[in-house]
Homo-oligomer: A and B are copies of this chain.
Amino acid sequence: MPTYNAPVEDMLFLFDKLRDNKNYQEIDRYKEVTTDLVKNILEEAAKINENLILPLAKAGDENPTVLENGIVRTPPGYKEAYKKFIDDGWTSLSCDPKYGGQGMPRTVSAFFDEMISSSSLAFKLYSELTLGAYNCIHHHATDEIKDKYLPKMVEGKWSGTMCLTEPVCGTDLGLLKTKAKEQPDGTYKLTGQKMFITSGDHDLTENIIHLVIARASDSPAGTKGISLFLVPKFIVKEDGTIGPRNGISTGSIETKMGIKGSATCVLNFDEATGYMIGPKNKGLSQMFTMMNLERIVVGIQGLGLSEIAYQNSLSYAKERKQGKSNKNNSQNGAADFIIEHADIRKSLLTMKSIIEGERALCFWLSQQTEVSLYHKDPKIKQDATDLVSLMTPVVKSLFSDMGMEITSDAMQIYGGYGYTKDQGIEQLYRDNRITPIYEGTNSIQAIDLVFRKLVNNNGDIIEKYINTIMRDLNDNDKNLKPFVEKFKIYIEKLKVFSKWMKEKIKNSKDDANAAANDYLRVLGYVAVGYSWIKVLEVSYKDYSNNKGFYEDKIQTANFYFNRVLPRVESHYLSATTGSKYIMDFKFN
């Protein structure tokens, strides 16, 4: 079974040394969240993840969730762990104190998201969707609804889901068929089938609060006729206690490649009572409040699985002797630890430099998310919103794709042992394989990025982003100079590629579409590179206070600039060849 040591030191470094982000520091509400407080939280978080949650990964893989006589049963150990998990308050970390939450910023809760993704993604999903639903209700529902549902959800006694997908509509929600019929009392009766519903049913909580998109009887076809409904598994009575079962049943659960401890359900709604959330026919945009936060969390899942894969392959490389390294002079054929081999070191450094760069980027994105929600200046708030929107598909796709690369490279380091179930490494790979798919496939993310995020009503967002970076680059510092020079080559490439892309969006949409995935990657690698620049600035400035730690950062950044950033080149070359020959091709 893989082991796990939560990277508390790196997280605290980010929190303490990179918090000095002007706009973020201007938010009042987190003034009391000190480094010491965060240290305590992260240390406790490390304990529960390393000890209680990590073993659930294997348990869930070996004993998948089952549907028995209409009841979904989670794997052995899940119930007990979940109880401890909510008793210790981990579901409420980032929630509003008004409803019982601890009011921590995303800069802290994102670290927790990473840790629990490393430990057991399948287990994590039971609480993750609750937070998604919480955010959506918190944003869009009336006070009455909030008071009735949120406290129990924050406490973790009730969980949540987001019910979007139907058999004929995944990506394309305009096709949805689930109907909502208005009743004389203002409630609705929902009928239809939803599928791929994560945590759609299970035995961990007393109630499940489904957020369902459906079409009201008198609404138009397409995406403009979709409304959002709250549909509880058990009706909640006036006094907040649990009443009769609602008209929702579990048709089946999916048998999947990985995350087998997570229940992925087909839910049948049969005249189920629902309450409309927010204005009619605006369901899609409300759902996207939840989807966007959720997409960043999916990126963090990829980061978490990458981290545990890296840790274990590093340990294995230090223990396994095989082959002679180039400095081995032994005459009796004695082998070296495989960590002595240049190729293995390169593989480990690729993982490390991507993981730590991603973590820094994610921290910056968490700060910007807080700015977008709570800054006093509406202009700054809007700018942050644009940046978060720009980076959301990038983080979702890049981190999940890198998660595939890194879990795969970790398996390679284990050789034949990596392919067996005993070591648990292949499970990381299978578990991570859902992340490029769910919450919108990575291709959908790329299309969202290109067609909706680069330029919006608020201006040329990508240009603003690039200009911010350019202004920020300091080539007067002799330490930073070699990094900045290398980085400039790629930011320049991003600039040229962005210009190409904006022109194609106007004049040749298929060219833009066919290049979207490559473009996302290029933006992603540059964004991670920029995060490394920020880390380097601190590393040189604060060098004498923690030499070993900063030297490690500087060398890791150096690897990233030498070996990872050049990937930009091929993506650019390949993507800008147009699409006519692709669209004209006749598939047999």
Contacts and interface: CB of A to CB of B under 8 A. Distances in A.
Given A573-B569, A585-B345, A586-B552, A416 B437 contact: yes
B552 A577 contact: no
Contacts of A434: 419
A346 B429 CA distance: 25
Interface string A413-446: 0011011111000100110011011100111001
Nearest to A341: B513
B412 A433 contact: no
Contact of A570 (B254, B562, B566): B566
Interface string A156-182: 000000000100111110110000000
Interface string A545-588: 00000001001101100111011111101100101011111111
Contacts of A335: 172, 174-175
Nearest to A255: B421
B574 A566 contact: yes
Contact of A422 (B196, B255, B566): B255
A263 interface: no
B433 A426 contact: yes
Nearest to A259: B419
A307 to B, nearest CB: 13
A244 interface: no
A194 to B, nearest CB: 12
Contact of A257 (B165, B174, B430): B430
Contacts of A289: none
**Count class of interface residues, chain A:** 35 or more
A54 interface: no
A496 interface: no
Nearest to A340: B583
Contacts of A421: 255-257
B343 A516 contact: yes
A323 interface: yes
Contacts of A563: 574, 577
B564 A581 contact: no
Nearest to A511: B342
A579 B342 contact: yes
A280 B510 CA distance: 65
A443 B582 CA distance: 34
A517 interface: yes
A433 B411 contact: yes
Contacts of A256: 419-421, 426
A339 B587 contact: yes
A23 interface: no
Interface string A346-357: 111100000000
Nearest to A558: B581
Contact of A582 (B254, B411, B559): B559
A529 to B, nearest CB: 14
Contacts of A569: 569-570, 573
A254 to B, nearest CB: 5
A347 B443 CA distance: 10
A566 B567 CA distance: 11
B574 A567 contact: yes
Contact of A165 (B196, B416, B436): B416
Contacts of A558: 581
A415 B443 CA distance: 10
A138 interface: no
Contacts of A582: 342, 345-346, 349, 559
Contact of A412 (B437, B447, B566): B437
A412 B321 CA distance: 37
Interface string A314-341: 1000100111101000001101000101
A71 interface: no
A494 interface: no
A408 interface: yes
Contacts of A502: none
A326 B339 CA distance: 50
Nearest to A195: B416
Interface string A437-466: 110011100110000000000000000000
A447 B221 CA distance: 59
B412 A442 contact: yes
A552 to B, nearest CB: 7
A13 B255 CA distance: 41
Cβ-closest 10 pairs across A and B? A222-B333, A566-B573, A342-B513, A570-B570, A342-B514, A326-B509, A257-B426, A562-B577, A174-B333, A342-B510
12 contacts: A171-B323, A221-B333, A254-B420, A254-B422, A256-B419, A257-B419, A257-B420, A314-B587, A343-B443, A345-B587, A555-B584, A569-B569
Interface of A: 165, 168-172, 174-175, 195-196, 221-223, 254-258, 314, 318, 321-324, 326, 332-333, 335, 339, 341-349, 404, 408, 411-412, 415-416, 418-422, 426, 429-430, 433-434, 436-438, 441-443, 446-447, 509-511, 513-514, 516-517, 552, 555-556, 558-559, 562-564, 566-571, 573-574, 577, 579, 581-588
Given A195-B416, A415-B437, A559-B581, 9 more contacts: A165-B416, A169-B322, A223-B333, A342-B509, A343-B513, A345-B582, A345-B585, A429-B433, A568-B570
